[in-house]
Amino acid sequence: MQGLAAKLADFAAGITAIDADYVRPRLAASHLVVDGGRAAFVDTGTTLSLPNLLGAMEAKGVDRADVDWVLTTHVHLDHAGGAGALMRELPNARCAVHPRGARHLAEPSKLIAGSIAVYGEARYHALYGDIVPIPEERLFVPDDGARITLGKRSLELIHTPGHALHHYCIVDLDHGLIFSGDTFGISYRDFDVHGREFVMPTTTPVHFDPDALCASVDRLMSYQPQKIYLTHYSEVRDLERLAREMKDRVQAFADLGRRFRSAPDRPAKLRKGMYAMLCRWLDEHGFPDDDAKRHWLLDDDVELNCQGLEVWLDRA
């Protein structure tokens, strides 16, 4: 349990961030939410994250029968890959999944094939392990704006396309906070400078839509949240600035793609251009000019983001 303690971070309103042990420390979080003796998970990490999730429940005194919800913001495997394995351990839980994603959690073969196409077979298995299907009768498929309860709190589930068509966010109406999955971008704690957060979009394949994503950010902000909890990584508070920068950077990514749409060496130009753009923003943010550390923190995102931009360019 001592090792697990370093992977947990407690916040107000009964929220605990759990490091999903995905790729590197503090890259992906699952959030455990407890209210009135009832509990929910928001995103699950991968099947390989399961020991941390169950350990967090034990650390917080949550019985497995007391978990009512597993809320998967979307079905990308760093968010929902562990949902089936977790559901097997939670006898009373229902798994909420966007209407466009439900079939993939019930029968994950296409989801697995798509992830192997992105990552390659060897890395896929190392990252995700075995994906466990969820029986359809245990799935809850919310309409846009559906409300559920957890203990004494009300949660509104709103559809937020732009990163993925199968994405929803969870608005905690009683505590002025939102769980945003990937809609509000990525804000790794590694990039914090004197407590000031850095944000960037995630444009992974295959549904990136810059206009829809900016509109979804605006929709989140229309609730006037005080805090947003990202899967990558957990709590951010400087929301007006982050929302503005997020939308500007979504459009900058799209402009980068358009600039090299017809370039014969488009993949290389996109990757070089995106890394340079992110480094410029990090310079402005005051992050140390350490190229090795920047590559370590950014290279996977640059690769996946550029793959997503290329899908978008070929679709547009």
- Asked whether residue 112 falls in the same domain as residue 210, the answer is yes
- Asked whether residue 195 falls in the same domain as residue 258, the answer is no
In sign, the C-alpha dihedral spanning 40, 204, 278, 238 is: negative
Mean pLDDT of 26-32: 98
- Asked whether residue 168 falls in the same domain as residue 273, the answer is no
pLDDT(1) > 80: no
Q: Are 94 and 74 in contact (CB under 8 A)?
A: no
Indicate the residue among 240, 258, 278 that finishes a domain.
Answer: 240
Give the percent of the chain with pLDDT over 70: 99
Q: Are 181 and 79 in contact (CB under 8 A)?
A: yes
Mean pLDDT of 30-38: 98
In tens, the pLDDT along 187-231 reads 999 999 999 999 999 999 999 999 999 999 999 999 999 999 999
> For residue 48, what is the domain's CATH number?
3.60.15.10
- Asked whether residue 174 falls in the same domain as residue 191, the answer is yes
Indicate the residue among 240, 267, 293 that finishes a domain.
Answer: 240
- Asked whether residue 256 falls in the same domain as residue 109, the answer is no
pLDDT recorded at residue 2: 54
- Asked whether residue 233 falls in the same domain as residue 253, the answer is no
Distance between CA atoms of residues 76 and 55, nearest Å? 23
Residue 84's CB is within 10 A of a number of other CB atoms, namely 22
- Asked whether residue 64 falls in the same domain as residue 187, the answer is yes
- Asked whether residue 63 falls in the same domain as residue 13, the answer is yes
In tens, the pLDDT along 218-269 reads 999 999 999 999 999 999 999 999 999 999 999 999 999 999 999 999 999 9
- Asked whether residue 46 falls in the same domain as residue 148, the answer is yes
Indicate the residue among 220, 240, 260 that finishes a domain.
Answer: 240
- Asked whether residue 266 falls in the same domain as residue 133, the answer is no
Task: Point out which residues pair with 69 in neighbouring strands.
Answer: 40, 94
**DSSP assignment string, 178-242:** EEEETTT-B--GGG-BTTB---B----SS---HHHHHHHHHHHHHT--SEEEETTTEEE--HHHH
Domain that holds residue 271: 248-315
- Asked whether residue 216 falls in the same domain as residue 252, the answer is no
Task: Point out which residues pair with 171 in neighbouring strands.
Answer: 156, 178
In tens, the pLDDT along 37-94 reads 999 999 999 999 999 999 999 999 999 999 999 999 999 999 999 999 999 999 999 9
- Asked whether residue 52 falls in the same domain as residue 170, the answer is yes
- Total domains in the chain come to 2
Among candidate residues 205, 210, 112, the one with its CA nearest the CA of residue 161: 210
Site of tokens 């399961």: 50
In sign, the C-alpha dihedral spanning 42, 124, 9, 288 is: negative
Among candidate residues 148, 75, 64, the one with its CA nearest the CA of residue 106: 75
